[in-house]
Amino acid sequence: MVSTQKDARTVLSDPRFSNRQELKRPQLPTARPNDASQPAAPGWFIHMDPPRHTHYRRLLQGQFTARRMRLLEPRIERIAAELIDGMITHGPPVDLVSAFALPLPSRVICELLGVPYADHAFFESNSTAMVYGSQQAVADLTGYLRDLIDGKEPGDDLISGLKAEVTVEELTNIALILLVAGHETTAAMISLGVDTLLRHPEQDRSDPVEELLRHLTIVRVGAPNRAALEEVQLDERTVAAGETVTIDLLAANHDPAVFTDPHTLRLDRPEAREHLAFGYGAHLCLGHNLARLELRIAYRALFEAFPALRHAGEPRPRAGYPIATLEELPVAW
């Protein structure tokens, strides 16, 4: 395991370290479309190396550019406003997770992919089970997405745009990655971020996103990791060919060599954007622009609508989950 930012950046970007699933021995078993001892299934690009990874990445990059995200901004703002209206209607108090933090990114990724939000309860529950390691959840989501793709009418969504470019199996696995990743982590960051901001009312909330990403670093256990393709020297430690190296992103984002007083939340921290919460190198999170936009809109909309937002009970963490997140966050205003 590496825990400094210098070593983390090396392992995440050096081509001597592979992300191929069949070469790695991860800390925890993870659910995926095929046996982890075999090369990644077609379209499952998160566990591939170039040139296979590069091929899929190029197909998708145009969907997640900063320019395209700016075009999405008014729609995300409208979704946030609708959810806040619902909070006002039903509360206070309300559970921020179910009322706002989860539905906002779920609706956004559904619209981006072309997945009916009416099915959100099905894919949200199966996404959670999948992150816990359920192969049955992978099978259920795969069947759902394959049927959706087969019957898809032409549109301006991502699935429609890729149908002519890839096979049904490839598109199903691509959509599975984006559907799960597109709402699980962002929903966790919204709820944990709000909880953190409520605990630090003395700080300026005008631009909190990068410091919250650094300070919280919600992807912590068992990922990411890489397999050494040859012997590599990391500072004074020799990594043998074939060994798996896990990157402790939380430790790297609290590295005192990079961040002054790293365990203290400072929303005005000038070096906050040096964090590795979205990874680094060729596998930098494809949706980082979208996630940043959703977080910025979510925090701003909530605190503008509810300047006196406060806890209405103790937050309840989700136990045993590889992503730091909350099951429930009761709030009032």
How many distinct structural domains can be found in the chain? Answer: 1
Q: What is the pLDDT of residue 296?
A: 97
In a domain, 131, yes or no: yes
278 contacts: CB under 8 Å, gap ≥ 6: 213, 284, 285, 288, 291
Helix (H) or strand (E) holding 170: helix 168-198
Predicted local confidence at residue 108, as pLDDT: 94
Residue 99 lies in a domain: yes
Query: CA-CA distance, 272 to 124, in Å (whole number)?
Result: 31
Asked whether the bond before 51 is cis by omega within 30 degrees of 0, the reply is yes
In a domain, 305, yes or no: yes
What is the domain extent for residue 128? Answer: 23-218+278-332
What is the structure's pLDDT at 239?
Answer: 97
Residues 299 and 194: beta-carbon distance below 8 Å: yes
Residue type, 318: R
Q: Report the CATH number that the domain containing residue 72 is assigned in CATH.
A: 1.10.630.10
Dist. CA 116–CA 287, nearest whole Å: 20
Q: How far apart are CA 290 and CA 296, in angstroms?
A: 10
The answer to whether the CB of 157 falls within 8 A of the CB of 108 is: no
- Asked, for residue 172, whether it belongs to a domain, the answer is yes
Query: What parts of the chain have a pLDDT lower than 70?
Result: 221-223
**H/E stretch holding 232:** strand 232-234
What pLDDT is attached to residue 221?
Answer: 62
In a domain, 238, yes or no: no
Whether 170 is in a domain gets the answer yes
The reply to whether 224 falls in a domain is no
Q: What is the pLDDT of residues 195-234, one digit of tens each?
A: 999 999 999 999 999 999 999 999 876 568 999 999 999 9
Residue 15, preceding peptide bond in cis (omega within 30° of 0): no
**240 in a structural domain:** no
Residue 185 half-sphere exposure toward CB, CA atoms < 13 A: 22
pLDDT for the residue numbered 71: 87
